[in-house]
Amino acid sequence: MSARLNRVRLRLRDLAAGAAFGSLVISWQLPSVLLLLAAAGFVLALFDRRPFGDRHLVGGVFLLLAGALCFGMVWKGPVDLVVGACCFATLLTLQRMLSAPGPAVDAQVNLASLLMVAGGGALSGDLLYAPMLALYAVFSILAMGLGVVSATVAPGTTFPLRRVLLPLSVGAGLAMVLGLTFFILFPRLSWNMAGGRVSTGLGPVTTGFSDQVRLGGSGSIKSNPRVVARVHLSPDPGDEALNRYWIGRTYDTFDGVRWTAQSTPVETEGQIRLSHGGDRLIHQEIELLPAYGARTALALEAPSLFGGAVANTHKGRRRTRMQRLENSEIRFEREAPGYDYHAYSLPADVTREVPALTTGDLDRARSLPADLDPRIPALAQRLLAGEQDPLRAAERLARHLSTRFRYSMELPGEHPDALSHFLFERQEGHCEHFATALTVLLRTQGIPARLATGFFGGERLGDDYILRAGDAHAWTQVLVPGRGWVSVDATPPAFRSAQPEPFLTWLVDRYEALEERWCNSVVDYDIRDQWAFLSGMLSDRERHDVLAGEVVEARPRRALGMGLGAFFGVLLLGWILERRVRRPRSDPATRFHHRLRRTVQRDPTIGAGLARGVPIEELARRLRQTDHPAATPLDDAVRRYLEARFGSRPLGAREASQLLQRLRSALGTAARSS
Amino acid sequence: MSSPAVSAPSPAFGQRLWARLRRPDWPRRLKVTGTGRTYLMVTLGVGIGALNTGNNLLYLLLGLLLGVIVLSGLLSERVLRGLHVERVGADALHAREPGTFRWRLSRERGHAFAIEVREVHAELTGRATAAILGPGRSHVLRGQVTAPRRGPLVLEAVDVSTTWPFGLFAKSRRFPIPGEVLVLPARIRVRGEVPRAHQGLAGEDGRARFQDGEGDLAGLRELADGEDARRIHWLKSASSQKLVRAERDREERQTVELVLETGPSRAALDRRCEELAAQARTLMARGIEVGLTVGPVRLRPSIGPAHLRRLLTALARAGFSTPPVTREVA
């Protein structure tokens, strides 16, 4: 067997296994130990180090231990059955890959890799699965093809690798086209029960709400352009930038360093009503993506009703109830990577219900840290100058902070009294500093206020709005008699929404757009899409979807014709190209002979003498006998042709042109003289 | 010797279709390999998983797996189409002993990969393989084949198969090439005593000096009309300017006449043929000329590889009345 062929085959086999493993990794569900072990194994395999070799006993013991470990993990509960099976498939691939190669071992590695890819499909709906699957397909097709050929290569012989790689590469492309065709046309006999977007995609989650807000640290999240939520608003405001507050949590207790809140559930229902709205509520159809990373439900300020929540888990879509916490936070009961739900909010101009606050609530909304810097109340007193109206006082303080203080995300180091440091020394900070300062300043004057966290912004994308991780924001809510909690923001307006790098935003947007298309076209493709696709190909008219009761976009019948035309066109083109490529090209001597005959036949004086079937040598002999001026150049050309054709003396293109040029000149001279 | 080559089906689609309809056996045979069986099981599992959950990524993988199966059929068909096959045969094929058998394959366009060739005959096992066949030239494939018994084997077709491209299926195409291969008696050790040789001057008379001998040079004389030109002593002829022939003494020859008794059972006859073949081989190795009588056929005592081949052929055909109808390739 050719050593090079064998080496390339093994490398491709191992790369295919690596791609299959990658399809599992992107689900972020495999245990870290397994990730490290598998990574080390793949590196060893790529360097052609195979420690198991022919030690079948050691390999068997390894597999036994692997099986026991995976069974134990499933039994004890850290992983579910699917993840456990994927772990075992990974360890099986690893063990086979690190054993001595052979036809049977190769087949086992390929099939175990296939199990990993199937496991990846079951665990992840991420966009990255597509390139992993494509890489696996290409590598495994090449490896399997080379494996078949290498079994028939005689020992010690060399093999033209390129000859076999070319058809295999074309085959890999064709297999993917066929795969897509099958994907589109394979009848969907069941509804898509798989979960929606459950993979975090570009790394770990970034915006998870926590039970406390610790003042200090850098605000690097503001530069993160990842999309964490998609919202469809009804009625559609139509604005490109929504610039609205999306509230998630509020905090009412501040100890000088961190904000906390009462987070005991007080109500768990499928639908949570916070206030009565009326008929002008803003309906929000919200999808929280896995990058969001929290169980807290968002809604436009001021939320009125939550409901219809569905958790997108790794095992599929599951309905979930919602919980109302003491601090008015709404939380999903089931933990999942992503959620779909509906929320209704009151428009800004609608008079809201004033919440019934207990004495405890009011006390917490006025509480101050025990060791509050005395300069802070003095500052509030000086700035307010006796202003008693809570809203006007809050707006005055907010105006002062947003104009006199600078926004900065570069805040190195921790300070024991971060608030005083912000107000009196550094005078720059991010939204949490501004919001905390405003809240505490208000509280020093006896005005109830609390810290609210959520998002600020809303960027138009098609018919929906998106929220980015960088839109995460903190602001102040002040209790206004007769109006309830009213948001007042001390952060400079330009810095309230995301501050991402333009190029990074562009990149992430492209990725998100691709992912959106991937989700719509592949992950969420169902029997309705299939029905619409097929009937759209066959129908001219707009029609009603019998399954969904919706009007489906009409597609002209010519689409079918165009599709068929394109298909046959590609076939025809391939056929022509194949004939052209495979047609044996005549050798240079023969081409020279044809040109020589054409040159002579075009000449009016001697051309008639070179009829079909007459050898050009015969004509040259006749010209020599008659002392024709072109006899010598023709003789030279004929002799040179014979040498090139039968004498193994190659004829270059330049020499051929020169010979023909001499002949043409001589023929021209002869014509002029006659 | 001309050899029947079989090319791809006729180019006309109608003729091809008609030929297919007329022929009861399908021109391609498909066999699932061990790897292919596992692959199909995994495909089935993925399909069931996709149908059960509606998970589109499993549908995508299922599509890819089905695409690979279809592609496997397309690419293997490309390998088997446009193939010309010719049976070259074997030099000497002995029963129960692997012998080299040759086939000549060629194709006009495109490369073929992972080709396996074998004879369609229950008693002739063995195959030849080729990793790659280039276009425009013929390739002789050599394989080791084994036949269990002596005698002529009537061959009907050559089977060309390939597991290209993925080793999931072995697709084969049958080329009907009628022919015959003669399996010589098995090579065994001589059992017991070899027959005693008859010693004496061989020839038409017993004189020591006989003009057509092979022994020492006895004299020179001018070549007469009608005499064998092979007896000319060219050196002397050149020096004397006339054709001079050499006369040599007859040698003493040891001869053995082997006789194959016809009539016993097929198994006994096979054993006797093998025994006689072994005796002939042993005797010739000792420089003894061996003759053979098989029923009405008698081979005069002689020696040498060609004579041994004649003896073995006669022994191989003993008991078989079927004459070689087409072409003998061994």
Q: Three-state SS for A368? A: coil
The per-residue pLDDT for A193 is 54
Contacts of A137 in chain B (CB under 8 A): 64, 68
Residue positions counted in chain A: 674
Residues A436 and A542 reside in one and the same domain:
no
Task: List, as one string, the DSSP characters of A564-606.
Answer: HHHHHHHHHHHHHHHHHHHSPPPPHHHHHHHHHHHHHHH-TTT
Q: What angle do CA B94, B198, B294 make, to 5 degrees?
A: 40
Q: Are residues A570 and A436 in the same domain?
A: no
Longest dimension (CA), chain A: 131
Q: Does an H or E element contain B200, and which?
A: strand B198-201
| Closest residue to A179, CB basis, from B64, B75, B114 | B64
Looking at residue B211, its pLDDT comes to 52
Both A60 and A86 in one domain: the answer is yes
Contacts of A106 (CB under 8 A, 6+ apart): A9, A13, A143, A144, A147
Gap from B4 CA to chain A (nearest CA, Å): 26
| Chain position carrying tokens 């004299």 | B219
Q: Which of B58, B134, B167 faces A148 most closely, judged by CB atoms?
A: B167
A278 and A356 housed in the same domain: yes
CA distance A191 to B190: 79
Q: What is the DSSP letter of A262?
A: -
Per-residue confidence (pLDDT) for residue B326, from 0 to 100: 43
Contact A502/A509 with Cβ under 8 angstroms?
A: no
Q: Which of these CATH numbers, 2.20.140.10, 2.60.40.10, 1.20.950.20, 3.40.50.300, describes B1-182? A: 2.60.40.10
Query: Residue A664 sits in which domain range?
Result: 588-673
Single-letter amino acid code for the residue at A189: L
As a whole number, the mean pLDDT across chain B is 83
User: Could you report the per-residue pLDDT of A32-80, keeping only the tens digit for each?
Assistant: 888 899 999 989 988 888 888 888 888 889 889 988 988 888 888 777 8
Distance of alpha carbon A336 from alpha carbon A328, whole angstroms: 21
Cα-Cα-Cα-Cα dihedral sign, residues A46, A51, A54, A56: negative
A479 and A558 assigned to the same domain: no
Tell whether A206 is covered by a domain.
no
pLDDT at B7 over 50: no
Contacts for B109 with CB less than 8 Å, ≥ 6 apart: A582, B82, B135
Give pLDDT, residue A192. Answer: 58
Q: Do A593 and A553 belong to one domain?
A: no
Which residues is B169 bridged to in the sheet? B32
**Of A84-98, A634-648, B15-29, where does mean pLDDT reach its minimum?**
B15-29
Give per-residue pLDDT as tens, B229-252.
888 889 989 998 899 988 877 667
How would residue A504 be classed by pLDDT, with cut points 50, 70 and 90?
confident
Please tell me the distance in Å from B66's CA to the nearest CA on chain A.
Answer: 7
Residue A108 lies in a domain: yes
Q: Quick one: A86 and A153 in the same domain?
A: yes
Interface contact B166-A582, CB threshold 8 A? no
* Average pLDDT, rounded, for chain A: 83
A325 and A462: one domain? yes
A40-54, A175-189, A206-220, B238-252: range with lowest mean pLDDT: A206-220
Cβ atoms of B180 and B324 closer than 8 Å? yes
A381 shares a domain with A285? yes
Residue ranges matching CATH 2.60.40.10 in chain B: 1-182
Judge whether B131 is closer than 8 Å to chain A, CB to CB.
yes
Beta bridge partners of B126: B145
Share of chain A above pLDDT 70, in %: 89
Is residue A292 within 8 A of residue A199, CB to CB? The reply is no
Instruction: Verify whether the Cβ–Cβ distance B35 to A107 is below 8 Å.
Output: yes
Q: Which residues 132-171 of chain B have a CB within 8 Å of chain A?
A: 132, 134-136, 163-167
User: For residue A34, what are its two tokens?
Assistant: 């397994």
Inside any domain, residue A546: yes
A441 and A498 fall within a common domain: yes
* A550/A625 same-domain check: no
Task: Choose among B102, B199, B212: nearest CA to B158.
Answer: B102
Task: Return the higher-pLDDT residue of A497 and A643.
Answer: A643
Residue A30 has pLDDT above 70, yes or no: yes
The mean per-residue pLDDT over the stretch A275-289 comes to 84
Instruction: Select from A402, A474, A455 the least CA-distant residue to A243.
Output: A455
Report angle CA B199, B203, B207 to the nearest 5 degrees.
Answer: 85
- Taking an 8 Å cut-off on Cβ atoms, the answer to whether B132 and A164 are in contact is yes
Q: Which of A179-193, A222-236, A390-404, A416-430 has the highest mean pLDDT?
A: A390-404
A271: CATH: 3.10.620.30
Average pLDDT over residues A461-489: 87
Do residue A562 and residue A650 come from a single domain? no
Q: Give contacts of B48 with chain A, Cβ < 8 Å.
A: none
pLDDT digits (tens, 9 = 90+) for B204-228: 444 444 556 667 788 888 888 878 8
Q: How many domains does chain A have?
A: 4
pLDDT in tens, A107-129: 889 889 999 999 988 887 788 89
Work out the angle at residue A469's Cα, subtended by the Cα atoms of residues A465 and A473, and round it to the nearest 5 degrees: 95
Distance CA B294, CA B296 (A): 6
Closest by CA position to B194, among listed B119, B288, B96: B288
Residues of A (316-355) whose Cβ lies below 8 Å from B: 316
Chain B residues inside the 8 Å CB shell of A167: 75, 111, 113, 165
| pLDDT of A218 strictly over 90 | no
The pLDDT assigned to B4 comes to 41
* Residues in chain A within 8 Å Cβ distance of B66: 178-179, 182, 186
pLDDT of residue A89: 92
pLDDT on residue B37? 93
pLDDT at A528 over 90: no
| pLDDT grade for B5, boundaries at 50, 70 and 90 | very low
Say if B53 is an interface residue toward chain A (CB within 8 Å): yes
Q: What is the pLDDT of residues A317-372, one digit of tens each?
A: 788 999 988 877 899 998 888 899 999 998 877 766 666 778 888 888 888 888 88
Across the interface, whether the CB atoms of B42 and A115 are under 8 A apart is answered yes
Separation between Cα atoms, residue B246 and residue B214, nearest integer Å: 10
* Structural Rg of chain A based on CA atoms: 38
